[in-house]
Amino acid sequence: MIHLTGTDGQHAVLHDLGGSGPPLLLTHGNSLNTGMWATVVPHLQNGFHCWGLDFRGHGSARTQHDDMSVERSHFVDEVLAATDALGGGPLLAAGHSLGASSLVLAELAQPGTYQGLWLYEPLLAPAGSPRPDIDHPLVQASRRRRIDFSTVDEAYERFVSKLPFSACEPAAVRAYVELGTYSLGDGAVRLSCSGDTEARIYVTGRPIEYTKLSTVRCPAVVARGGSLAAKRNDIPPKLAQPIAEALGNGRLKTFTELGHFGPMENGEAIAQDIRAHLEPLIAA
């Protein structure tokens, strides 16, 4: 693991996931961690050297002090720090939700950082959209989330027993739980990402003027789940098409059978699409 320490003392963690070929950076969504890519990575390793980034307060990147800031700029800084740790750009990258948004914002901040991007339901609301407040259902649900469990197995069984994780591949859920908990002693564990951290990240989302996205000129796939699979939260898939159209070189891809947690639901299908998009860029 490579620890990437920010100016405020918090840190992100970069995991070497193995493989051969050019480096491929993988970033995760809010409350998740590198483990979410567990069933994707095996299908990428014979073409890419995969690296997973845990954002501050997630997975192995445990909170260093209680007043941790979760302003979105920190996640962008961590993406850029991970890119530098892998030798700098132009780099290949794939991200989910918060992680996908952070990759786009990083390329906006430093054009030319990425050679190609594969983005699953990036959460970039258009200018004029209301920001979630403390009464938003997602924020309230996050704050109610249970974080302590008697064992890792209990945590896994609870997550996999209900949506959205019941629609995911068990190995992906298991990897997320194992990387996303730490010991409290006597077998008990606690989630690294607290409900409060998850909720505050939702609240810090800032709408963006989509005309700015035209300056992101590296080839980018914006992937989304199908409307039926995503009916529990249809905002992320609805944003995918306008984002793809606004990017300087974007293309929309729809996985009709998948939901917002698509990379955890069908790792092989996701890996195939990542390869189809990024491998031609390596040869170019």
Residue 184 has pLDDT above 50, yes or no: yes
d(CA 173, CA 198): 18
Query: pLDDT for 211-257, tens place per residue?
Result: 999 999 999 999 999 855 445 568 899 999 999 999 999 999 999 99
65 near 202, Cβ under 8 Å? no
18 near 272, Cβ under 8 Å? no
Secondary structure of 210-269 in HEC code, one letter for each residue: HHHHHHCCCCEEEEEECCCCCCCCCHHHHHHHHHHHHCCCEEEEEECCCCCCHHHHCHHH
Find the distance separating the first CA and the last CA of the chain, reported in whole Å: 31
Looking at residue 130, its pLDDT comes to 79
Query: pLDDT for 21-75, tens place per residue?
Result: 999 999 999 999 999 999 999 999 999 999 999 999 999 999 887 789 999 999 9
Tokens of 120: 């699953």
State the pLDDT confidence band at 165, using cuts at 50, 70 and 90: very high
Q: What global pTM score does this model have?
A: 0.96
H or E segment and range at residue 49? strand 49-54
